[in-house]
Amino acid sequence: MILDLTDVTVSFTTGPPLRRTRLDAMRGVSLSVAEGETLGLVGESGSGKTTTSRVALGLQRPTSGTVRFDGRPFPRRRKDLAGRMQAVLQHPHWSLNPRMRIGQSVGEPLAVLGKAAGELVPEALEQVGLEAGFAGRYPHELSGGQRQRVSIARALITRPSFIVFDEAVSALDVSVQVQILNLLKDLQAEYGFAALFISHDLGAVRYVADRIAVMRGGEVVETADAATFYSAPEHPYSRQLLESL
Amino acid sequence: MSALLEVDGLEVDYGTARALDGADLRVAAGEAVGVVGESGSGKSTLGAAIGRLLPRQAVVAAGTVRVAGEPVLDLPPAALRRLRRQRLGFVFQDPIASLDPTMRVGAQLRLVLRAHGRDGRESPGGRDGGRGGADVAFHLARVKLDDPRVAAAYPHQLSGGMAQRVAIALAMAASPELLVADEPTASLDSQVREEVLNVVFALARQAGTSIVWLSHDLPAVARRCDRVAVMYAGRVVESGPAADVLGDPVHPYTAALARSAPAVAVPGVRLEPVPGRPPVLTGPSPGCAFAPRCPFAEDRCATERPEPVRVGAKDVLCHRAAELEVIA
Amino acid sequence: MNRTARVKRSRRLDPLSLAGLGCLLLLVLVALGSLVHAGGDPDAIVGPRLRPPGPGWWLGTDNLGRSMLPRVMEGVGTTLLLSSAAVLVTAALSAGFGILAGYRGGYLNELIMRVVELLYSFPAIVLAILVAAVAGPGQLAAVASIVLVTIPLMTRLVRAAAVAVAERDYVTAAAISGAGLPRILGRHVLPNVAGTIAVQGTYALSVGISVEGGLSFLGFGVQPPQASLGVLIRQGGTYMMAAPWLIIGPGVVLVLAILSINVLGDGLRDRFEPRETRSLI
């Protein structure tokens, strides 16, 4: 297993000091992603999928439960993980630093590792279907779909074994969404990375995932093969999601 | 069937960018029409033009908009205000931003009811549309907001779904003849979305209100609207009965759109997206704007602007519509 | 397409801000001119005392018979120099503290913000007088006062901007790929709050000019015989009824400087921090 969440609970406390209330963003969540596999995570806002994403990325410590990446707990120093885990995040508008050229953004994970980018940046851009000339442009010159392609190139450049896609296509137009989803499938077939694909859209998740977990109210209510979600998911909430497609 | 809304050959520019490039749309009284298009297709501009709510930098280059026969774009200010007040209702994407943050919900609703009462028309509750909490409660209850605390709340105290229902209550309180809704459910969760949709369409049917529903989600729109109009690059490229447009699309763009939604994918079958991306127009398109992405394009598609062709019950903006109908 | 249009339009300053910039540059030029005594020797006695403007002393003469023109020129220079030096210090400190507080949050944030609030709660002039009392009247007191007066607001605004930037996906993505704090702050956060720093720096400059004016007017800042706008207004105040030109010269220049800088600041703000406009397409 590349990623293993066992009985993870994340609680936040809110409110004034004397009337603190505890809110469980995740309650007893267990998930695992095998090498080369795509796990889809479906849920609506407030379901806890954003917190799950942060836990999987090591950005949020669980209140209880264990998280193991590649068989070990998250290291104390983030640098020890550098290059092995990447993310493609939600908002194409904020996914790239507006003050950095595309080439710099794509090459950054390499710079973090202290490696020279060299020919790898134009290569990475070509892998996601962009011309090498894009390296010299700024994000505001690109469309939403192109920016998400750049984010994918940036995530791929260190050949990570695990990538989290958090609502990576949700803000894109339908016809562009499919372009990106197809790209993702192709790249995965070629490079064999494992992925956690998080979205509120069951259609998109079902299209790219091998297995799907459905979250609601901080809990995983159903986990099954993607095929199940084309026909007969068990949980009533999963059925409701299927019907609203 | 008399048309309540008639948009003819509307062309709108923002500086050098062209948002509408000859859009046509017809909505009959009591009809619900879904206008579907991707971002940049011009659907929001079309929606705004119906109430002459275009931003200041927008220039109407050609075309007319008529609501109940009145030329919206040429009305003097007083007549325009009267038209908006009596006949039009708007609901926008961001519900919280469309409410006045400094006023309680009930007060905002009373304001609308009073303005409406001044026109000397009866409120749909059959009561005097002026004062009293009962009327406010009635209008909130219509959008399934029964909690009396809602009327006393400020907009920021409401959830997105509640705020959008308040916005709908405000728009529907004046019982408009035409409701223009611009992606009003985009930011809502599926369960709330269904509720809000049910409320809007039920209210409209009850009051005989026509709806223009702007959205990027073709299947969701087709499920509830009588007719669907698909926009591409500032024009309506295909319009007709909802089931026909979704189930039996003729225009290559509509067909590709219907085919490429992840929701319709079959296990193990790869979706084929439309290659490329929508054009950014800087002036009138010389031919069909979809031609560069179209697998059926011929020479004339690049140079001749297509005119609507009647195919069955649909109007299709394609030179090869008749042939494609046979293929489909 | 709207976006590119907006970028093109906002790359330029509007005419009013350009006028402000021009006026400011003119004042800098005037100040530089005083270094070569372009308007005459500020300390030389050129004529009778308290004369109204006329040939030989275009802004009149003061109570010692010195021409006001070179003295105002020197005063503009002193005031601009002290204020800009102070604003550079403020900008550097605010950038450091604001970005750290905004990005790291937690106790560091609490500590920095409480100190800032404490400073903020003192009226500017009281703070300046306290500084002068501790450091002794003089140029150093003027600079330190301007820094202490301008630092709270700027730190707060830089922090707010940094908080917003810290939540953006490119910062998260960099953190996930293992980027360290120096890289994240230096490559991602700082360049994206630089606009805020530039805008607030401009406003701070105008605050600095008025603080210097006020402090020197009260006698805690720049000390005569060195001229600054505050010193000149203080000296002119004594003869306000008999020789109003002593106050009008430096007064007009002070107002002009503050006005042009504020106008420029507004232009920069629109340029760097455009409010999100609702786009229809």
CA–CA separation, A100 and C168 (whole Å): 14
Instruction: For residue C187, list chain A residues with Cβ-Cβ distance below 8 A.
Output: 97, 100, 108
Q: Which residue has the tokens 């270094």?
A: C35
Tokens representing residue B108 in the block: 């905002």
**HSE toward the beta carbon, residue A64, CA cutoff 13 A:** 6
Confidence of residue C163 (pLDDT cuts 50, 70, 90): very high
ipTM of this complex: 0.88
Of all residues in chain A, the one with the smallest CA distance to B275 is A179
Chain B: which residues have CB within 8 Å of chain C?
A: 14-17, 19, 39-40, 42, 44-45, 48, 54-55, 58, 280
Supply the pLDDT for residue B120.
Answer: 44
Contact B14 C278 (CB under 8 A): no
Look at residue C249 and tell me whether its pLDDT is greater than 80: yes
Taking CA atoms, B194 is separated from B70, B228, B237, in Å, by: 34, 19, 28
Strand order in the sheet with B32-36: B88-91, B178-182, B210-215, B32-36, B227-232, B235-241, B314-316, B309-311
Q: Report CA Rg, chain A.
A: 18
Cα–Cα separations (whole angstroms), residue B75 to A28, B65, B67, B174, B180: 62, 11, 11, 21, 19
Q: Tens digit of pLDDT for each residue in B38-90?
A: 877 888 899 999 989 888 888 899 999 999 988 999 999 999 988 888 889 88
Q: Which residue has the tokens 């104390």?
A: A76
Q: Please check the confidence at residue C122 and state whether its pLDDT lies above 80.
A: yes
Pairwise CB contact (< 8 Å): C179 & A112 = yes
Chain C environment of A81 (Cβ under 8 Å): 178
Give CA–CA dist B4/C267, Å, rounded: 46
Nearest chain A residue to B187, by CA: A45
How would residue A243 be classed by pLDDT, with cut points 50, 70 and 90? confident
Region of poorest pLDDT, from A102-111, A161-170, B177-186, C195-204? B177-186
Contact C281 B58 (CB under 8 A): no
Query: Which pLDDT tens digit goes with each residue over A174-227?
Result: 778 888 899 999 999 999 999 999 998 888 999 999 999 999 989 999 999 998
Instruction: Give the per-residue pLDDT at C8.
Output: 41
CB atoms within 10 A of CB B283: 12
- Candidate ranges A190-204, B134-148, B252-266, C123-137; pick with highest mean pLDDT: A190-204
pLDDT of residue B328: 55
Tokens 């949980």 -> residue: A235
B193, B194, B270 ranked by CB distance to A182: nearest: B270
Any C CB within 8 A of A238 CB? no
Interface test with C, best of B44, B182, B214, B216 (most C CBs within 10 A): B44
Model confidence over B233-247: pLDDT tens digits?
A: 999 999 999 888 888
Q: Which of B83-87, B188-192, B195-199 has the highest mean pLDDT?
A: B83-87
CB contact under 8 A, C178 and A151: no
| Chain A contacts in chain B segment 260-279 (CB below 8 A) | 260-267, 270-274, 277-278
Mean predicted lDDT score pLDDT of chain C: 85
Q: Where do we find the tokens 């500086």?
A: B15
Per-residue pLDDT, C3: 38
- In chain B, residues with a C-beta closer than 8 Å to the C-beta of C278 are 55
Partners of C185 on chain A (C-beta within 8 Å) are none
What are the φ/ψ torsions at residue C243 (nearest 5 degrees)? -140, 75
Specify the higher pLDDT residue, C171 or B94.
C171
* pLDDT band (50, 70, 90) for residue B189: low
What CA–CA distance (Å, rounded) separates A37 from C192?
A: 37
Question: For residues C61-76, b (16+ Cβ closer than 10 Å) or e, as one string?
Answer: bbeeebbbbbbbbbbb
Residue C271 C-alpha, separation from nearest chain B C-alpha, in angstroms: 19
Point out the residue among A86, A90, A105 whose CB comes nearest to the CB of C176: A86
Q: Name the residue in chain B with its Cα closest to that of A237.
A: B191
Domains, chain C, in order of start with CATH, read 15-33+71-272 (1.10.3720.10)
| Per-residue pLDDT at C197 exceeds 60 | yes
Question: What is the C-alpha to C-alpha distance for residues C68 and C218, in angstroms, rounded to an integer?
Answer: 20
Nearest chain C residue to A114 by CA distance is C179
A86-95, B70-79, B184-193, range with the lowest pLDDT: B184-193
Residue type, A85: M
Q: Which residue has the higher pLDDT, C90 or B295?
A: C90
Sheet holding A21-33, edge to edge: A21-33, A3-14, A64-69
Neighbours, chain B (3 or more CB pairs < 8 A): A, C
User: Which of C5, C278, C281 shows the shortest C-beta gap to B40?
Assistant: C281
A68 versus B221: which is more confidently predicted? A68
Residue B316, beta-bridge partner list: B238, B309
- A89, A97, A109: residue with CB nearest C188: A97
Residue type for position B103: M
Average pLDDT of the residues in B28-38: 90
Residue ranges and CATH numbers for the domains of chain A are 1-12+25-80+194-245 (3.40.50.300)
Question: Can you tell me the mean pLDDT for B120-143?
Answer: 62
Q: Looking up tokens 């194409």, which residue turns up?
A: A92
- Lowest mean pLDDT of B36-50, B78-92, B147-161, B166-180, name the range: B147-161
Are A132 and A122 in contact by the 8 Å Cβ rule? The answer is: yes
Answer yes or no: are the C-beta atoms of B213 and B35 closer than 8 Å: yes
**Chain-chain contact of C281 with B15 (C-beta, under 8 angstroms):** no
Q: What is the pLDDT of residue B55?
A: 83
What pLDDT does C1 receive? 37
Yes or no: say if A48 and A25 are a contact pair by the CB < 8 Å rule: yes
Residues ≥6 apart with Cβ < 8 Å to B279 = B233, B285, B289, B292
Stretch among B178-182, B269-273, C190-194 having the lowest mean pLDDT: B269-273
Asked whether the beta carbons of residue A151 and residue C3 sit closer than 8 angstroms, the reply is no
Mutation choice for C interface testing from B13, B20, B50, B57 by most C CBs within 10 A: B57
Gap between the Cα atoms of B277 and A175, Å rounded = 8
Summarised one tens digit per residue, pLDDT across range A110-143 is: 998 888 877 899 999 998 888 888 999 998 888 8
Residue B41's closest chain C neighbor by CA?
Answer: C281
Chain A residues whose CB is inside 8 A of the C180 CB are 78-79, 112
Task: Quote the mean pLDDT of chain B.
Answer: 84
Cβ distance C280 to B48 less than 8 Å, yes or no, reads yes
pLDDT at C65: 84
The pLDDT score that the predictor gives to residue C260 is 93
User: What amino acid is encoded at C129 in this protein?
Assistant: I
